[in-house]
Structure 1
Amino acid sequence: MSLVPYLYLLPHAILFLLFVVYPVGYGLYVSFHRWDLLQETRPFVGVEYYRNLFDPSTPQSQFFWQTLKNTLFFTVVSVPLLVISSLGLAVLLHRPIFGRAFFRAVFFLPGILTVSVMGILWRWMFDNQIGLVNAVITQFFHRQPIPFLSTEWLAWIPIVVGTVWWTIGFNMTLYLAALGNISESLYEAASLDGATAWQQFRGITLPLLTPQTLFVVVTTALASLQLYGQSLVITNGGPTRTTQSVIQYITEEGFSNNQAASATAMAFVFGVIMLIFTAAQFRIMARDVQGGN
């Protein structure tokens, strides 16, 4: 048996063991001990930190599930908006309109900004007193400023709107590439048969874009579940943790509260939840793709 193929795989295997398997294994080890960086002894506590997450009387359980609920809310709201708006923009900008290249660039450019720049921009726009949105409300509608950043659930508006503005260009580009691969002869045949523009979109465009939609939905959902920077910069998780993401709380538990083992246990539980959510979503979407074929 030749060892040459395995030698080609060896560099990847080494990197995989070093940067994936070892950190995961070490993280599991940490989660089973009372891990204090300032102490030399780190006693074994078993599944204590995992049990705390399912004990409603512990603050770790209360805050973890609350922030997880916040993250799921953001995902449920932002993913449909990102998929539908990016598809709509792609359909509009796929047509031979004046300035098409310019508008494509305009919608794609926000994606090159860092999350800190994007967060500062949208925090300023929705500032309770001097924000651009409140300036428009007071000047043109003669209303009192709306305290977006200090009102529960209203604080989600700049986070969701800012995220859609920030990331819509990437999904739009994916859809534009997919639309370019659809043969124009299909639309010509449908037009000769008397199909309207909406019927062509529903009967030709949507079914042929199903694989791309599967990819966009899964990747967008994964990115939304990893919400961190937007809520940190725009609202800092407030007010009263209503916009704090689960990753933000895990970071707080590990670094601010110096509870590395507890934070690691939360990270593993959240990772399992993400895997289950993604697998279920992928299974449902893949079944639709196969059904469409």
Structure 2
Amino acid sequence: MSLTAPRMPRRHGFNDANPVVPYLYLLPFALFFLVFVVYPVGFGFYVSLHRFDLLSETTPFVGLEYYRALFNFDTPQAQFFWQSMRNTTFFTVVSVPLLIATALGLALLLNRPIFGRSFFRAVFFLPGVLTVSVMGILWRWMFDNQIGLVNAVRGDVFGLQPLAFLSVEQLAWVPIIVGTLWWTIGFNMTLYLAALGNISTSYYEAADIDGATPWAKFRFITWPLLGPVTLFVFVTTVLASFQLFGQSLLITAGGPNRSTQSAIMYITEEAFTNNQFSSATAMSFMFGLVMLIFTYLQFRIMARDARGG
């Protein structure tokens, strides 16, 4: 008499299920993606190729006319658009190094065992929870030409004349950049703090045995190991800076003489103030193309860094 093992009931795995089931799980996201991404982009491209007017029943096809107009610098649209692009680039070039360097410096300080470390971490992070409207109104008041706190301190404490921060082109960027630094630095600082906490202390112990100076430990241990998070912070900060809108709108209203008007501000003005929807849509796609090129270059750098060179 031979004994045979009892047959276990067959378990139906994922591969035995209906092949339609995975797509049902993807369906909600796909619907939202189609409705809120694919359709708006497609309709926007259609608008940029037609002379679109909400009050007109016809939308004649004009091809690339509005795209060509962006390179005709005899038109005010091209002049204002590229000026706003230069303004946005200037803001990005100035603010991004400050946002990265200051966040790293604060993270290095607050990573040390100092008294009240948790309190100061919260203090630097809390401004990031404010809305851009609150931040903009606050810093507009801080740098007001007449009643601003900055000018009050300059006059009462240092005996200096007030500066017209909101009316002079060379000074108008100061409240925007300083306000953005105060508002957003906490996020980058938190990322650096998390990265510093993942660095093994054995590296620093070995460096101490070798007699390394604090600068040498930062240069050869801390900074290289922070490379991946620094690249991430750099990419996200640049992308966020290119999307400058609320700070300029609320603090300086794009002035004086459009010197602080960002690209998104002018696109919004062209669409909803001048009612030139086709022109504004073409500007949006041109602005998006610039962002895509930059993002592509950043991903190439990230891929090369992941491969180790």
TM-score by length of 1: 0.96
SS at 1:270 equivalent: helix
Match of 2:170 among 135, 139, 153: 153
Is residue 35 of structure 1 aligned with residue 52 of structure 2? yes
Partner of 1:67 in structure 2?
A: 84
Is residue 2 of structure 1 aligned with residue 22 of structure 2? no
Is 1:254–1:260's contact at 8 Å kept on the other side of the alignment? yes
Partner of 1:207 in structure 2?
A: 224
What is the Cα deviation at residue 289 of structure 1?
A: 5.5
Is 1:94–1:176's contact at 8 Å kept on the other side of the alignment? yes
What is the Cα deviation at residue 144 of structure 1?
A: 1.5
Partner of 1:120 in structure 2?
A: 137
In structure 1, what is the Cα distance between the partners aligned to 2:65 and 2:38?
23
In structure 1, what is the Cα distance between the partners aligned to 2:307 and 2:135?
38
SS at 2:27 equivalent: helix
SS at 2:83 equivalent: helix
User: 1:286 and 1:204, CA in 2 relative to 1: closer, same or farther beyond 3 A?
Assistant: farther
Range moving further from structure 2, 50-59 or 272-281: 272-281
In structure 1, what is the Cα distance between the partners aligned to 2:301 and 2:92?
17
SS at 2:162 equivalent: coil
Match of 1:173 among 190, 193, 212: 190
Partner of 1:109 in structure 2?
A: 126
SS at 1:148 equivalent: coil
Task: State the number of aligned residues.
Answer: 292
Partner of 1:250 in structure 2?
A: 267
In structure 2, what is the Cα distance between the partners aligned to 1:279 and 1:70?
22
What is the Cα deviation at residue 290 of structure 1?
A: 4.4
Question: After superposition, what is the alpha-carbon deviation per residue over 1:99-121, rounded to whole angstroms, capped at 9, x for unaligned?
Answer: 00000000000001110110111
**Aligned pairs (5 A) from 1:123-142:** 123-142=140-159
Partner of 2:72 in structure 1?
A: 55
Range moving further from structure 2, 232-241 or 119-128: 119-128
In structure 1, what is the Cα distance between the partners aligned to 2:55 and 2:23?
43
Name the aligned partner's letter for residue 251 of structure 1: T
Is 1:83–1:216's contact at 8 Å kept on the other side of the alignment? yes
Is 1:158–1:234's contact at 8 Å kept on the other side of the alignment? yes
In structure 1, what is the Cα distance between the partners aligned to 2:168 and 2:274?
26
Partner of 1:91 in structure 2?
A: 108
Is 1:210–1:289's contact at 8 Å kept on the other side of the alignment? no
In structure 2, what is the Cα distance between the partners aligned to 1:279 and 1:96?
40
In structure 2, what is the Cα distance between the partners aligned to 1:48 and 1:254?
17
Partner of 2:258 in structure 1?
A: 241
Partner of 1:283 in structure 2?
A: 300
In structure 2, what is the Cα distance between the partners aligned to 1:119 and 1:290?
42
TM-score by length of 2: 0.91
Q: Could you say which structure has the higher helix fraction?
A: 1
In structure 1, what is the Cα distance between the partners aligned to 2:137 and 2:276?
29
Name the aligned partner's letter for residue 196 of structure 1: T
What is the Cα deviation at residue 12 of structure 1?
A: 1.9
In structure 1, what is the Cα distance between the partners aligned to 2:116 and 2:26?
48
Range moving further from structure 2, 196-205 or 223-232: 196-205
Range moving further from structure 2, 32-41 or 59-68: 32-41
Instruction: Quote the sequence identity (%).
Output: 74
In structure 2, what is the Cα distance between the partners aligned to 1:237 and 1:201?
41
Name the aligned partner's letter for residue 86 of structure 1: A
Question: After superposition, what is the alpha-carbon deviation per residue over 1:206-234, rounded to whole angstroms, capped at 9, x for unaligned?
Answer: 11111111110000000000000000000
In structure 1, what is the Cα distance between the partners aligned to 2:154 and 2:91?
25
Name the aligned partner's letter for residue 162 of structure 2: P
Structure whose CA Rg is larger: 2
Partner of 2:8 in structure 1?
A: none
Range moving further from structure 2, 278-287 or 67-76: 278-287
